Amino acid sequence: MNKSLSHHVYNDRSFAEQYAQNITNNPWNAGYERPASLSLLPDNLNGLHILDAGCGPGITTKEFLEKQATVTAIDYSDAMVSLAQENTGGRAHIVQHDLNEPLSMFANESFDVIYSSLVIHYIDDLKALFAEFRRVLRKGGLLIFSTDHPDNPFVKAQLAAGIRQSSVPWDGYNIHMDVYHRSWSEIESALTNNGFSVNSQLSPHPLPFVKDMYPNVYETLSTVPHFICIRAVVL
């Protein structure tokens, strides 16, 4: 079984460039998930060591740098790593790495914060990933991540049918992405069994600009949960 789901899509340079351009200001990311996930960060990032785990084209990596954090970023796509390096001008340490594999390049307790946006639904063994996140985080460190919402009707239907992995359409790109589906109990168990305590979870609400510019998308995002954003602390 190929554990590195959708790698061939994200590693395509033309797709990566299109994706990077779209998520900068689009309703799903810029107007929905990203502001919600970023709201879970500490108010002051100055001096914090942050791991941007699954950094994509480096939008959040750049934002963390601008807030005076020390940033390490990883992504399994060479194309995304290249874009992230371009977007951050060499100010972050950015490496190609598949999060399905151990974070052996990092010592124990290397980071204050791990930020992982819309990544874990591509990960085969969530317990193993969270164990590695726990290892490289300092005590009291934060794991902030987002993923497909367990209460999304499609996710619930897949899980009810015993389907753990499926291919879902991304209509705006005319492609399909292979993802894993997980219940909240599975996600929570993977956290608590690895020494994390969930201290915040939220379902995003679209920003006002989405209603003005994308009224149909606003209606969809306002009525159907699509992503969930979590903050967990190392005990």
In this prediction, residues 131-150 reach a mean pLDDT of 98
CA distance 204 to 226: 8
CA distance 221 to 211: 10
What pLDDT score was predicted for residue 1? 42
- Helices then strands, counting H and E runs in the chain, come out as 10, 9
What pLDDT score was predicted for residue 76? 97
For 164-216, what is each residue's pLDDT tens digit?
Answer: 999 999 988 989 999 999 999 999 999 999 999 999 999 999 999 999 999 99
What pLDDT score was predicted for residue 4? 83
From residue 196, give the alpha-carbon distance in Å to each of 17, 43, 130. Answer: 35, 21, 9
E strand spans, the chain: 49-53, 70-75, 93-96, 111-116, 137-148, 165-170, 175-180, 196-202, 227-234
Task: Find tokens 């810029």 and name the residue.
Answer: 30
What pLDDT score was predicted for residue 3? 64
Are 176 and 166 contacting, i.e. CB atoms less than 8 angstroms apart?
no
pTM of the predicted protein model? 0.97
In this prediction, residues 41-70 reach a mean pLDDT of 98
For 94-132, what is each residue's pLDDT tens digit?
Answer: 999 999 999 999 999 999 999 999 999 999 999 999 999
* Sequence letter at residue 212: D
Model confidence at 138: pLDDT above 80: yes
Are 232 and 197 contacting, i.e. CB atoms less than 8 angstroms apart?
yes
